[in-house]
Amino acid sequence: MGSEEANAFDAKDAPKIAGELRESFASGKTRSYEWRTSQLKTILKILDNHEQDMILALRSDLSKPEMESYIQEIAMLKNSCKATLKSLKGWMVPEKAKTSMTTFPSSAEIVSEPLGVILIISAWNYPFYLSIDPVIGAIAAGNAVVLKPSEVSPASSALLAKLLKEYMDTSCVRVVEGAVAETAALLQQKWDKICYTGNGRVGRIVMEAAAKHLTPVLLELGGKSPVVVDSDVNLKVATRRIIAGKWGCNNGQACISPDYIITTKDFAPKLVDSLKEVLEKFYGKNPLESKDLSRIVNSNHFARLMKLLDEEKVSGKVVHGGERNETDLKIAPTILLDVPRDSLIMTEEIFGPLLPIITVEKVEESYDIINSGPKPLAAYLFTSNEKLKKQFVMTISAGGVVVNDTTIHLAVVTLPFGGVGESGMGAYHGKFSFEAFSHKKAVVYRSFVADAAVRYPPYTKGKLSLLKALVGGSILGIIRALFGWS
């Protein structure tokens, strides 16, 4: 664990922290537009003042290239924060709703109210983005927040704890560092929503703990995100975009990185040649030496990836890469062709620089292959065929779909980001974050005029006919019932 604060957190302090934040929330402090925007502006200030510290922390945790740290963490957070600041006032305005004849006269609106105290448990692979982006949403919606960053990225976790303590209103925004014991202690407390990013096994633990308090959950999980490549593509562009989404995102350690490719038997050799050529252009002849590739986060994950790569079932299938350096935790971009569908690499989420390709006669066969597995977080299609694009979008169930690129839907702040089925539940980003951390309260306003006797006892046939006519919406029926005409 990283900072001194981390050592200061004892699992038995969890009730105290939850209690303090609940008190702050109850004071009403977090509800004002001014508090929300001042905290969001403070986040922007942290990002401006500590860009280099974050880049260094990411280098220490993952050897992440500065370019990726800036674009995929810092710039994404700045955009998210700015977009939220720009729209927040509008989001907070109650939304008018139509009323019906049965409540006439009345007006109605939907009021977004904060849920209360939010627990955010985040993952190691994008330690700043995955921690701060949900915090932005929780604050925008007027909540108090406890953030528990991942112990697997200790330098980033320590920096988050230090900076948020130094800059933010700590009566309402708190960072708690820790691993399983600390997270378990936090999970025993009552929260008003838990936002968890990570794997499905722990997602189940989170959901079970939440169920005890009937706490809603936002689960941002993972899965095997497929890339289907048709033969009619612009191969050069498709290749670059596949590489950017796989090895250009944390060396494949990203939840929406391409996990495997499906292409036709005829096209596979061309695709493999193109991938090899561009990989060498991007990362050189010895990619283990490349400064533009992240390392594997730790020896556990390194060993996990080696198990996938060295399984007997996939021996002889490596057509590119395969080099590794256990001391430096580096694995070269690796492509495997025609791996068996029941191999570990095709049944477990890879989350690293290995890319298996499976081949089919026709790309349409990919639908059954994808839909027969757990629903992925993302699905990608490369094609020029309009019919195929439509079919793919309508047939494949996934958290998100991108046609002719990979991973970029994450950067579209107007789109919800989240999984479906095994890849998660709920969504966030931009306005969807505001909604994820708000309760939509239904409010009806009435006056004291026109207090229709029809709803009160004694219940009569005449009253029932009038109500039926009102529900039916027939003016003639209403007149008949009012005047007792049959």
Closest contact distance (angstroms) between CB of 301 and ligand NAD is: 8
Cis amide linkage into residue 458, ω under 30° from 0: yes
C-alpha 187 chain-centroid distance: 20
Q: Which of residues 274-313 bind ligand NAD (CB under 6 A)?
A: none
Q: What's the angle, vertex CA 433, arms to CA 131 and CA 257, rounded to 5?
A: 60
Residue 302 backbone dihedrals phi, psi, to 5 degrees: -60, -50
Binding residue (CB under 6 A) for ligand NAD from 179, 318, 403, 411: 179
User: Catalytic amino acids?
Assistant: 220, 255
Binding residue (CB under 6 A) for ligand NAD from 44, 75, 85, 202: 202
What residues does 468 pair with on adjacent strands? none
Taking the C-alpha atoms of residue 256 and residue 402, their distance in angstroms, rounded to an integer, is 11
Return the range that interacts with ligand NAD (CB under 6 A); candidates 37-45, 97-105, 137-145, 193-201: 193-201
Residue with tokens 């298996």: 356
| 244 lines the binding site for ligand NAD (CB under 6 A) | no
Q: Which of residues 409-438 bind ligand NAD (CB under 6 A)?
A: 419, 424
Which CB sits closer to ligand NAD, 120 or 332? 120
| 130 lines the binding site for ligand NAD (CB under 6 A) | yes
Closest contact distance (angstroms) between CB of 197 and ligand NAD is: 5
Taking the C-alpha atoms of residue 183 and residue 191, their distance in angstroms, rounded to an integer, is 13
| 11 lines the binding site for ligand NAD (CB under 6 A) | no
Give 369: exposed, middle or buried? Use CB within 10 Å, 0-12, 13-18, 19+.
middle
| 125 lines the binding site for ligand NAD (CB under 6 A) | yes
Which CB sits closer to ligand NAD, 187 or 275? 187
Residue with tokens 């790309």: 363
| 124 lines the binding site for ligand NAD (CB under 6 A) | yes
> In which element (H, E) is residue 59 found?
helix 51-62
Closest contact distance (angstroms) between CB of 164 and ligand NAD is: 15
Taking the C-alpha atoms of residue 95 and residue 184, their distance in angstroms, rounded to an integer, is 38
Closest contact distance (angstroms) between CB of 187 and ligand NAD is: 6
Binding residue (CB under 6 A) for ligand NAD from 349, 379, 406, 478: 349
Which CB sits closer to ligand NAD, 115 or 410? 410
Taking the C-alpha atoms of residue 10 and residue 1, their distance in angstroms, rounded to an integer, is 12
Residues with Cβ within 8 Å of residue 421, at least 6 apart in sequence: 374, 375, 397
Q: Which of residues 350-409 bind ligand NAD (CB under 6 A)?
A: 351, 377
Residue 197 backbone dihedrals phi, psi, to 5 degrees: -115, 125
Site of interaction with ligand NAD (CB under 6 A): 121-125, 130, 148, 150-152, 179-180, 183-184, 197-199, 202, 205, 220-222, 255, 349, 351, 377, 419, 424
